[in-house]
Amino acid sequence: MNFKRINNIAGWLVCLIASGVYISTMEATGSLWDCGEFASSAYKLQIPHSPGAPFFVLIGRLFMAPFDPQHAATGINLMSALASGFTILFLFWSITHFAKKIVAKQVAEPSTQQTFSIIAAGVVGALAYTFSDTFWYSAVEGEVYALSSFLLLYFFGQCLNGNKVLPLKKHKALQAILPKPTDGLF
């Protein structure tokens, strides 16, 4: 098998492990502090405390739809668990992206030993973050941090793969219109 296929399979396996752990350990109802406020705001499509988190409320409402009103908080907790699982997927792919650049350097297809090293680095890094106390705690309750982490790593991954999908350096007009989020940092 080639590196890309192994990388995709390993990434999805890590995502399934993380999602399974988070779903099996998620809160059954609303937790203390802001979780209850976010759950009730999402259920009635109202505005939570500042700064509001409107995207979280809208997505949370979609996840609450299959549940009856007494178990609406379960839907928003499920959303956080799944968003955290997919965060781990994109974290794995980000780690293997950088590990491949370090290990394989200019080689198009890494050797079997290099592939094992790269995938092992991704698995260890992603699973270490999966079971870290702070991330696990925010993954199992209906808070904005899980969805925020997912979106951050999703867009970070898009920036990493931007030159493969759309080589902006060849299209000067697109480069001017669609700058990458990291362009202003350097």
Report the pLDDT averaged over residues 116-124: 95
Please report the pLDDT score of residue 185 as a whole number. Answer: 41
The token duo for 164 is 């493969």
- 81, 93, 82, 63: which is closest to 153 by C-alpha? 93
| pLDDT tens digits, 155-167 | 888 888 766 655 5
Q: What is the DSSP letter of 108?
A: S
Tell me: pLDDT of 124 over 90: yes
Query: Could you give the number of structural domains in the chain?
Result: 1
Q: Name the more confident of 181 and 92.
A: 92
Could you list the residue range(s) of the whole structural domain that residue 154 is in?
A: 3-185
Phi, psi for residue 172 in degrees, rounded to 5: -65, -35
Q: What is the pLDDT of residues 38-87, one digit of tens each?
A: 777 887 788 887 777 888 888 888 888 888 888 888 888 899 999 999 99
